[in-house]
Amino acid sequence: MIYNNPFLKLSELVPPIAMQGFLITMIVLVILGTLVDIIHKKNVKYFFENAKKAKKSATKELRAGEKASVIAKTIVYDIGTTSELGAGKRRVAHLLGMYGTILFWIASAVMIFFYSSSSSSTAPSAWPVIWHVGAIMTVLGGSWFWFFLRVDVYSEAQPWYRIIKADLFVLALIATSLFGLIWSYLQSLNLNDRWDDKVFLVLYVISNLVLFGGVYWSKFAHMFYKPGAAIQKNLAEADGSRDNLPPEADAPEKFGLGIKREAPKHY
Ligand code: HEM
């Protein structure tokens, strides 16, 4: 199964051009959803106004090279390792899901555009493997988060099966990978005229429509906002403006004993 390129077999049913059109439609949906979100929340407008205001209190003018170095470090460390989540399970689960999704999406695009037609050359086995491994990582990372780490489950003792609108993103993400995996598995069994794999193909398509069509209502766009905010924060540290926050106190940290009573998790 892991070497199965599901899009090649799918081309017997759906022409590659239609698969490519579907993928492009998903990208357009993400762009539209994010733009509408930006217009509705006015978050980017606030972000730039705030950055402009903070710049006035900068103590240092950054040269282009310094800026590039801050941005590169932010991409590699803050964004690439989701440092915002600190050390621990939450970060490991996020990294599993994030890199899994990136691998799954890249392999999907490569196989759909270059290896989905019977006339194209066979996909190097690395691509189907990356697709399946990416999907498995996403299901593991996403499920770990869903069942054990969500704030309302972890800290507020809500049952894992309580679903609210904010769960749209993580659930749609898990669904696309899980249905994709089951579809590929059933397809690799060569069930011929049986309907099993087609049912999961339909579920795979629907979950993709929900994931990419639901950007406006879900947390999808955090994958664009978070990196932007991390870059701005680190540039503001480097130029001394600190987003107009007071400098850190030059004194030992004193929080009293209370903070040692239990691990902080009531947020
Ligand atoms: C392909 C890229 C990414 C994927 C698939 C992804 C996936 C997820 C998922 C499923 C969640 C849980 C959402 C929820 O609360 O229901 C989440 C939360 C989060 N993500 Fe991402 N993410 C991505 C990129 C990023 C990036 C680039 C950053 C930061 C630089 C980031 C930072 C966060 C943070 C801080 C949370 C909140 C975690 C928590 O509440 O425990 N994510 N992400």
What is the model's pLDDT at position 267? 61
- Residue 35 domain-assigned (yes or no): yes
Could you tell me the mean pLDDT of each successive run of 10 residues in the chain, 267 residues long? 92 94 98 95 87 83 93 97 92 98 98 89 90 98 94 84 93 98 93 86 98 97 95 90 80 75 69
- Residue 134 domain-assigned (yes or no): yes
- Residue 170 domain-assigned (yes or no): yes
- Residue 93 domain-assigned (yes or no): yes
Task: Give the relative orientation of helices 126-144 and 168-188 as an angle to the nearest 10 degrees.
Answer: 140
Cα 207 to ligand 1 centre (Å): 19
Please name the residues in contact with 211: beta carbons below 8 A apart, sequence gap of 6 or more. 169, 172, 173, 175, 176, 218, 220
Residue nearest to atom 17 of ligand 1 (CA): 94
- Residue 113 domain-assigned (yes or no): yes
- Residue 30 domain-assigned (yes or no): yes
- Alpha-carbon distance of 107 to 49, in angstroms, equals 38
170 in ligand 1 pocket by Cβ < 6 Å? yes
Question: In a mutational test of the pocket of ligand 1, which residue from 94, 99, 104 has the highest number of ligand atoms less than 8 Å from its CB?
Answer: 94
- Residue 210 domain-assigned (yes or no): yes
Task: Yes or no: say if 141 and 90 are a contact pair by the CB < 8 Å rule.
Answer: no
Of 212, 225, 226, the residue nearest 172 (C-alpha):
212
Residue nearest to atom 43 of ligand 1 (CA): 94
HSE, CB side, 13 Å, CA atoms: give it for residue 149.
15
Split into its structural domains, the chain has a count of 1
- Alpha-carbon distance of 182 to 165, in angstroms, equals 26
What is the model's pLDDT at position 50? 83
Question: In a mutational test of the pocket of ligand 1, which residue from 71, 82, 156, 176 has the highest number of ligand atoms less than 8 Å from its CB?
Answer: 82
171: containing domain: 6-40+86-222
What is the model's pLDDT at position 230? 95
What is the model's pLDDT at position 55? 80
- Alpha-carbon distance of 37 to 30, in angstroms, equals 10
- Alpha-carbon distance of 146 to 174, in angstroms, equals 9
- Residue 162 domain-assigned (yes or no): yes
Cα 113 to ligand 1 centre (Å): 28
Grouping H, G, I as helix, E, B as strand and the rest as coil, residue 16 is helix
95 in ligand 1 pocket by Cβ < 6 Å? no
